[in-house]
Copies of this chain bind each other. A is one copy, B any other.
Amino acid sequence: MAEKLNLRKRKKFQARQTILSAAARQFELHGFANTSIAGIMQAAGLGVGTFYNYFASKEDVLLTLAKNLRAEVSEKISAADELNPSSCELLERCCICTAKLIDENRFILPLFISASEHSDKPEQIPQSLSPGFRDLFEDIIQSGQLRGEFRADVPSNIISEMVHSIYQTTAFSKLDIPFQENIRLKIKILLDGIRTP
């Protein structure tokens, strides 16, 4: 009986995952706006109606994808933090590993940006992800400022917004430079710009 329930739960969980992956793939291929729920479910090999057993809307799917990503990034940062590095090193390291994760889920960030523009229900989106990511870095920057490692004449939220912006737009970059390398160079500039002499 317990197994039966578990089996069911596992099955349900799998269907959810299937939909998430299919959605991710479709978003990546055609963009958020040009992906229809029917399209996602066809790619997932499931019926259209099934979608609504797991998600409330396309926005909901995107949100979930984004949350998953954010959780992963957060975890990595925590890990890095345990080594008690300088804020500078920590920020750099975090930026690098975030870049790596984003690179593997390239479509999410840009989608997220535009999703709020797109959808009929923008209110469902912007609060959750963007700030989510921003917060992760803001902590590091604030403590860097407190320690005197980072300039304090610019508010920390401006700086973290700037970090954020680097990810956002680099995800769109058409330059002939690998994503992670691109990020690395920009972060280098930023670090040189905020490091106290």
Interfacial residues, chain A to chain B (CB-CB below 8 A): 31-34, 110-111, 113-114, 117-120, 122, 126, 130-131, 151, 154-155, 157-159, 161-162, 164-166, 168-170, 172-175, 177, 182, 185-186, 188-194
Contacts and interface: CB of A to CB of B under 8 A. Distances in A.
9 contacts: A113-B114, A114-B117, A154-B185, A154-B186, A158-B175, A161-B182, A165-B168, A165-B169, A189-B190
A159 B189 contact: yes
A172 B113 CA distance: 9
A189 B111 CA distance: 27
Contacts of A193: 188-194
B157 A175 contact: yes
Contacts of A158: 175, 177, 182, 185-186
Contacts of A118: 31, 33-34, 114, 117-118
Nearest to A189: B193
Given A159-B189, A189-B162, A189-B193, A120 B168 contact: no
Contacts of A164: 169
Nearest to A192: B193
A6 to B, nearest CB: 17
Contacts of A186: 154, 158, 161-162
Given A131-B174, A157-B175, 6 more contacts: A34-B120, A113-B172, A168-B168, A189-B193, A189-B194, A191-B193
A122 B164 CA distance: 24
Contacts of A155: 177, 185
> Which of A126, A151, A189 has the largest count of B CB atoms less than 10 A from its CB?
A189
A117 to B, nearest CB: 4
Contacts of A161: 169-170, 173, 175, 182, 186
